[in-house]
Chain A
Amino acid sequence: MADQVTETRQRIRELLVEMHGPDSFVRTVSDTVSLRQQGLSSAALVSLLVAMEDAFGFEWDDDIQPEVLRSISSLAEHVVALRV
């Protein structure tokens, strides 16, 4: 489970690098910090969520809670929980 979360966090980082480049905020952002507060725009957030659907093979529920979308860690934990 812990390994799955770590792998998923890494894949989310790769998606962010594909979107924003290796020298962007992604290089220094921690796993637990709010992505929005680190400068991720609303458009970039939606773009990430769409990319995650393709990368991990799921669709976001309409009733997803905002906290799930807060950080790389919360996103990864949600993806892994869907697979359990």
Chain B
Amino acid sequence: MTAGLGALVTPGTYLEWSPVAPPNGPDEQFVAGRQAAAAALAAAGSVVRSVPRVAGGRPAFPRGYPGSIAHTERVAVAVVVPGAAGVGVDIEDAAVTERMVDFVLYEGERRTLLAPDGRYRPVELFSAKEAAFKALDGMAVGDGVLFWRIKLHRAGDGLIASFGGLSVPVWARYADGLAFALAVRR
């Protein structure tokens, strides 16, 4: 998967994957996410490799090493970007139905970002909103459950996600049945 991400993983962005062990439940997904985070922190040069949970279940990365974790039932990913103001990563392998698309995407997003006018799959935009919400977390966006309120629009090769006067660039790709999105707030 990483090989297909190309320009998404720029110098200074440390991304690591970890498989989820059977029986692939929430506990195993949590462990895989922390393993990926520890590997990403090690690659970034952090001597602290643990990522405890804080209120709301969010991961607390070591000071100076902001990061984000996401997982499916099969695989977990973690990204660390030293110096960033906020980082959000998301992966999705779930089917996104037409009803879900209508629920999560604004009409303008469906028209301009999805085929035929746009180049994105619904699941990529779903992931992009989730990643952006994580990157904006702590910036008055509130509980992460309403990630679909983020608005997306095209910007060069990527996307800009905005909410409540805040914005963050997001990159989204799809490969091998998995959507991946990364948002980094500088």
Contacts and interface: CB of A to CB of B under 8 A. Distances in A.
B148 interface: yes
Contacts of A3: none
Contact of B97 (A36, A47, A49): A47
Among A38, A41, A42, A44, find the residue whose CB has the most chain B CB atoms closer than 10 A.
Answer: A42
A34 interface: yes
**Residues of A contacting B: mostly:** helix
Contacts of A43: 92, 94, 96, 100, 126
Contacts, number: 51
A80 interface: no
B147 A25 contact: no
A65 to B, nearest CB: 9
B143 interface: yes
A19 to B, nearest CB: 10
B144 interface: yes
B144 A36 contact: yes
Interface of A: 25, 34, 36-39, 41-47, 49-50, 60, 64, 66-67, 69-70
